[in-house]
Amino acid sequence: FFIGLYVLVGAGALMTTVGFFGCCGAARESQCLLGAFFACLLVIFAAEVTAGVFAFIGKKVAIQEAQKIYEDIYDDYTKNPGGKVNRTIYHYHVALKCCGKDNMEQQMGLPCPENNCLVEIQNIIDANLHLVGIVGIAIAGITIFGMIFSMVLCCAIRNTRDMI
């Protein structure tokens, strides 16, 4: 749980630093700061591409982990149906429009849709992974746009200094 928080704090600090380089470089017309801004954007772009590749390569692992989380919650629910896990399992079933992890629920007479949740988890991840890819491509495009503008501004600064 805390690892995700640390990653978000680290990413925020990195983006603050990158923004500082870009703003100060543009305001002071500093080629050094604009070059640092470009280098930071290049590193961020490389990280985005790497994360995207790992996301598509590791799709099966992500599906297995999500299914394992559901199975653990479901097993806790079957051991203690009146506990705290009852609300969690209920929200899973409502959100995914599924019930259980096999067809035992229908055999026990529980009112359940035909789909089991393990199949639905896989279907949801498969269906929505392209949205993650589209967002990643859009962010990478914005990053490339920032890199282009930082280099254009850096060259313009150099050209105006050469004229003086």
Domain extent, residue 52, equals 1-163
Region of residue 35 (phi > 0: left; psi between -120 and 50: alpha; otherwise: beta): alpha
Number of domains in the chain: 1
At residue 105, the pLDDT reads 53
Percent of the chain with pLDDT strictly greater than 90? 2
Question: And the tokens for 157?
Answer: 């600064």
> Is the pLDDT score of 146 beyond 60?
yes
Nearest CA to 21 among 42, 36, 31? Answer: 36
The Cα 101–Cα 116 span in angstroms is 5
**Arithmetic mean of pLDDT, 23-44:** 88
At residue 148, the pLDDT reads 92
At residue 83, the pLDDT reads 66
Higher pLDDT, 110 or 49: 49
